[in-house]
């Protein structure tokens, strides 16, 4: 019974796994956002799906295949279109395609194959509305022309524009890996030549494959065994050798011999040399095998030193890690030429299980190319192979041993990113060494540049190639031009392999550790190296291995000028600071001291957030980046902020209130004066008109008056003076006077004069 290890052992295993991940996991030092001045973009109105490229450096053109067209672009500036040729599916073909249930967008002609022929013609194939077709294009006198004769493209080009495929042209023969029918259910690896050969339609050969990459290795050169050249194929498929509760996808590498002509009776017109093996990229933390997405063959003048670079992504539901692994051509060859085979055996319930084949192998060795050993047995070609050898390889094409990467570990592991494509360049640095620079495309439209310096993997930068996130579908590299080309659904772009001009100082240029870049003290500029530059050029400064900046001119200690920021009480204040290097740690200082730990200070990727600011937060804030490279620490002041308090309300408001009060008091005084004048005028007018009686003047008796004669006489004249001397009508001079009596005057009989006519 299996015993559970003690907790201490589990902790040690966990720590070992995490440390192993940290040893390989890297992040790009610099992130370059989309900048139109660094990128040359080509796209055609109404075009799209720019996923096929053919570099012709001798002609100075990049042939670009898209939807229903092929373009010839200037290799130095792809925005300059030299020529174009249209190749559209017929209306009849489109109608038949849609009648079979496909969408109108799919029922067009997507260019999928572009290969240069020995006679300078270009072999081209397209999906042609799910009816693949191939033809030839001529590029003469700056013009592209399409030949009128087309041939059947089944087995050479995919039906479905979204289906993965691969092909390579070897000596005028097309080797292809694609689907052979409309439904995509019949995968095939074929050679289209005078002697056509294809794969066997068996799940033990190909089981729901997704083809990735094909290329030739000239293994016949300087071969003591007089071996044949090989064509290698990389793909993923559903595994047949594992007992798994669900379908498990595994990565494979397969190979066939260039001189394979098929068998005479067994495997007629079928590959007699087809062998495949599991391709392993052991990513720490991952329990499920990673899936190969793209491969690049970095060729060497000695084919034995050639290396296959491959990018891998995790399976759905697995860890979020992508990886790069490198495989030696000779180690792959040893697995096929010396390794053991797997064989299917039937167990209970008719279940088939794959185990290692432990019996003796037939002669000559199954799957081997025709070499001196075979010739010694009288076998000059595959048609001479015995049926026993052919039946063995027909039923057992799978090797027991997996192909392991160089160093038995990944070159690079990254979390949170999906790798899609890869190309690799050899570049000579000023130290005289040649390094392998990887350019890795992602599903978000970025390209990462990484270099291995004696076992230390450095991801120099990542650059955004498309303004909107777009998976990179193809990468091509021109080492002679120092240019990188990428294609996606929306366009094709061209960038330089070295973005040296971005580094503004010698310190930045050297710490970037970019083998393409060096600092020129005479020009005070970071320049891109030319192939002629070497260590003998003592004026240029570069140190990719150790990042030693001691030879840089003294940069001085001038800090950036402080930026004034108004401090408003109770507000949240954002101070931005983001160093160019993603590897740098940010430290904040307040008043020349480290920022105190407090809940009000929130550090995040873009800078510092001061929450609920108070008067004590005013002062000088300094953002310092600290980066450690090869055991040396480099500190740089990235930003300075001076928080200045806003004018206090106590200083401003009283002056304003006093001024307002004075203005209000003057206004009130004027109003009161006007009101008094109006009231006085109104009172005088009412008194003058008699509406208001005058008060009584004293209480004595009135002087005796002469009785009025009995004869009538005119009333006395009434003047203002007389009116003013009259007592009020309701005021008696003597309260003891009888109300009626002779010889006395009743003042109540007096009346006001309401009309001038009464005067």
Domain ranges of the chain: 563-649
**The predicted structure's pLDDT at residue 659:** 56
Peptide bond into 542 cis (omega under 30): no
pLDDT, tens digit (0-9, with 9 covering 90-100), for 112-121: 999 999 888 9
* HSE-up (13 A, CA, CB side) for residue 491: 17
pLDDT at 757: 43
> How many Å apart are CA 310 and CA 280, to the nearest integer?
11
Measured CA distances, 414 to 324, 383, 457, 458 (Å):
9, 48, 12, 12
The pTM is what? 0.81
| Residues belonging to the chain | 759
Higher pLDDT, 400 or 317: 400
Q: Mean pLDDT across the stretch 706-725?
A: 41
Which tens digits make up the pLDDT trace of 332-370? 999 999 999 999 998 776 678 899 999 999 999 999 999
**Over the stretch 189-238, which tens digit does the pLDDT of each residue have?**
999 998 999 999 999 999 999 999 999 999 999 999 999 999 999 999 99
Out of 564-578, 640-654, 656-670, pick the least confident: 656-670
Listed residue (286, 293, 280) closest to 327, CA to CA: 280
Pairwise pLDDT comparison (587 vs 695), residue with the higher score? 587
pLDDT band per the 50, 70, 90 thresholds, residue 580: confident
Of 211-215, 470-474, 670-674, least confident by mean pLDDT is: 670-674
State percent of the chain over pLDDT 70. Answer: 84
Query: pLDDT of 728-740, one tens digit each?
Result: 444 444 444 444 4
- pLDDT band at residue 401 using 50, 70 and 90 as cut-offs: very high
Check residue 351 and give its pLDDT.
78
Give the distance, in angstroms, between the CA of residue 41 and the centroid of all CA atoms in the same chain.
Answer: 17
SS3 351: strand
Beta-strand pair 419-428/412-415: unpaired
Here the tokens at position 402 are: 């997996």
Q: Is the dihedral of CA 201, 203, 204, 205 positive or negative?
A: positive
Closest CA to 113 of 153, 81, 86, 84: 153
Q: What is the pLDDT of residue 682?
A: 81
Q: What is the pLDDT of residue 722?
A: 40
For residue 726, pLDDT beyond 80? no
Question: Burial, 33: exposed, middle or buried (Cβ in 10 Å; 0-12, 13-18, 19+)?
Answer: exposed
pLDDT at 349: 67
What percent of the chain has a predicted confidence (pLDDT) above 90?
Answer: 67
pLDDT in the model for residue 536: 55
Compute the average pLDDT of residues 587-607. 90
With beta carbons less than 8 A apart as the criterion, state whether 241 and 247 touch: no
C-alpha to C-alpha distance for 432 and 92, rounded to whole angstroms: 61
pLDDT (mean) for 499-518: 93
In the CATH hierarchy, which top-level class contains the domain 563-649?
A: mainly beta
Token pair 């053109």: residue: 61
Asked, as a colleague might, if the bond just before 619 is cis with ω within 30 of 0, I would say no
Tens digits of per-residue pLDDT, 413-454? 999 999 999 999 999 999 999 999 999 999 999 999 999 998
Contact indicator for 577, 608 with CB cutoff of 8 Å: yes
DSSP 532-572: T--TT-TTSB--TTT---TTSPP---PPPPPEEEEE-TT--
The pLDDT of residue 283 is 93
Q: Of the candidates 332, 341, 380, 382, which has an alpha carbon nearest to the alpha carbon of residue 230?
A: 332
Residues 483, 510 contacting (CB under 8 angstroms): no
CB 484 within 8 A of CB 441: no
Alpha-carbon distance of 621 to 608, in angstroms, equals 10
E-state strands within 383-455? 412-415, 419-428, 434-442, 446-453
**What pLDDT does 199 receive?**
96
Query: How far, in Å, CA of 591 to CA of 176, rounded?
Result: 68
Instruction: Identify the pLDDT of residue 254.
Output: 98
Question: Binning pLDDT at 50, 70 and 90, where does residue 758 land?
Answer: very low
Mean pLDDT of 700-713: 42
Span between the terminal Cα atoms of the chain, in Å? 142
Please determine, for residue 301, whether its predicted confidence score (pLDDT) is greater than 60: yes
pLDDT for position 272: 97
How much is the pLDDT for 4?
39
How would you class 289 by CB atoms within 10 Å of its CB: exposed for 0-12, middle for 13-18, buried for 19 or more? buried
Q: Comparing C-alpha atoms, which of 317, 181, 199 is closest to residue 247?
A: 317
Q: What is the pLDDT of residues 5-47, one digit of tens each?
A: 444 433 333 333 444 444 557 899 999 999 989 999 999 988 8
Q: Which residue has the higher pLDDT, 65 or 504?
A: 65
Over residues 284-308, the mean pLDDT reads: 95
Are 475 and 447 within 8 A, CB to CB?
A: yes
- Confirm if 149 and 165 have CB atoms less than 8 A apart: no
The yes-or-no verdict on residue 746 having pLDDT over 70 is no
Cβ atoms of 510 and 543 closer than 8 Å:
yes
**Backbone φ/ψ region at 496: left (φ over 0), alpha (ψ -120 to 50), beta:** beta
In the prediction, which pLDDT does 246 show? 82
pLDDT at 328 over 90: yes
Task: Return phi, psi of residue 522, to 5°.
Answer: -65, -35
Please tell me whether residue 504 adopts helix, strand or coil conformation.
coil
Q: What's the whole-number average pLDDT of the chain?
A: 85
């Amino acid at each position: 019974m299996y015993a559970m290890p003690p907790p201490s052992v589990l902790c040690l295993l966990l720590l070992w796994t995490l440390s192993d991940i940290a040893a390989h996991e890297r992040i790009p030092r610099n992130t370059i956002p989309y900048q139109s001045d660094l990128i040359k973009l080509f796209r055609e109105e109404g075009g799209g799906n720019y996923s096929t490229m053919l570099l012709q450096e001798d002609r100075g053109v990049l042939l670009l295949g898209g939807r229903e067209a092929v373009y010839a672009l200037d290799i130095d500036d792809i925005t300059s279109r030299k020529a174009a040729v249209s190749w559209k599916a017929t209306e009849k073909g489109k109608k038949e395609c849609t009648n079979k249930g496909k969408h109108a967008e799919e029922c067009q002609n997507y260019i999928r194959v572009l290969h240069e022929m020995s006679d300078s013609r270009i072999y081209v194939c397209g999906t042609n509305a799910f009816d693949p077709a191939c033809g030839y294009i001529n590029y003469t006198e700056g013009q592209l022309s399409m030949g009128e004769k087309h041939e059947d493209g089944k087995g050479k080009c995919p039906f479905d524009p979204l289906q993965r495929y691969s092909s390579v042209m070897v000596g005028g023969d097309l080797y292809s890996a694609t689907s052979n029918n409309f439904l995509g259910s019949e995968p095939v690896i074929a050679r289209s030549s005078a002697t056509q050969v294809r794969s066997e339609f068996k799940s033990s050969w190909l089981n729901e494959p997704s083809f990735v990459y094909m290329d030739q290795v000239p293994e016949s050169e300087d071969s003591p065994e007089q071996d044949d050249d090989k064509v290698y194929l990389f793909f993923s498929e559903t595994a047949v050798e594992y007992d798994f509760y669900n379908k498990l996808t595994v990565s494979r590498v397969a190979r066939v011999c260039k001189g394979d002509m098929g068998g005479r009776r067994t495997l007629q017109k079928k590959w007699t040399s087809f062998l495949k093996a599991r391709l392993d990229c052991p990513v720490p933390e991952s329990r499920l095998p990673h899936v190969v997405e793209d491969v690049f063959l970095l060729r060497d003048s000695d084919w034995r030193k050639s290396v296959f670079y491959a990018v891998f992504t995790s399976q759905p539901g697995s860890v979020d890690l992508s990886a790069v692994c490198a495989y030696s051509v000779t180690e792959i060859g040893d697995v096929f030429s010396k390794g053991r085979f797997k064989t299917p055996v039937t167990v209970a319930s008719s279940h088939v299980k794959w185990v290692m084949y432990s019996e003796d192998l037939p002669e000559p060795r199954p799957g081997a190319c025709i070499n001196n050993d075979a010739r010694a047995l009288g076998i000059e070609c595959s048609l001479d192979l015995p049926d026993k050898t052919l039946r063995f390889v027909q039923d057992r094409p799978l090797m027991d041993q997996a192909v392991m990467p160089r160093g038995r570990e990944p070159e690079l592991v990254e979390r949170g990113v999906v790798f899609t494509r890869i190309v690799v360049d050899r570049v000579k640095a000023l130290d005289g060494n040649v390094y392998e620079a990887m350019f890795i495309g992602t599903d978000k439209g970025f390209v990462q540049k990484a270099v291995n310096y004696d076992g230390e993997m450095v991801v120099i930068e990542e650059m955004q190639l498309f303004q909107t996130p777009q998976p990179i579908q193809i990468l091509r590299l021109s080492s002679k031009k120092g240019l990188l080309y990428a294609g996606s659904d929306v366009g094709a772009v061209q960038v330089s392999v070295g973005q040296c001009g971005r580094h503004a100082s010698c310190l930045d240029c050297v710490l970037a550790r970019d083998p393409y870049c060096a600092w020129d003290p005479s020009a005070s500029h970071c320049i891109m190296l030319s192939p002629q530059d070497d260590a003998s050029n003592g004026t240029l400064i570069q140190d990719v291995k150790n990042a030693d900046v001691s030879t840089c001119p003294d940069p001085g200690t001038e800090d950036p000028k402080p930026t004034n920021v108004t401090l408003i009480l109770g507000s949240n204040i954002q101070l931005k600071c983001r160093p160019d290097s993603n590897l740098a740690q940010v430290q904040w200082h307040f008043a020349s001291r480290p920022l105190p730990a407090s809940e009000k200070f929130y550090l995040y990727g873009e800078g510092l957030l001061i929450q609920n600011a108070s008067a004590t937060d005013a002062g000088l804030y300094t953002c310092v980046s600290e980066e450690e490279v090869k055991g040396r620490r480099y500190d740089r002041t990235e930003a300075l902020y001076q928080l200045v308090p806003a004018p206090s309300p106590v200083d401003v408001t009283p002056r304003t209130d006093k001024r307002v009060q004075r203005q209000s008091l003057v206004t009130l005084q004027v109003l009161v004066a006007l009101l008094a004048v109006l009231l006085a005028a109104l009172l005088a007018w009412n008194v003058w008109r008699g509406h208001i009686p005058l008060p009584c003047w004293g209480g004595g008796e009135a002087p005796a008056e002469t009785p009025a004669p009995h004869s009538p006489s005119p009333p006395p004249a009434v003047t203002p003076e007389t009116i003013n001397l009259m007592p009020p009508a309701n005021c008696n001079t003597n309260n003891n006077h009888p109300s009626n009596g002779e010889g006395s005057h009743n003042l109540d009989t007096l009346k006001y004069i309401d009309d001038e006519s009464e005067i």
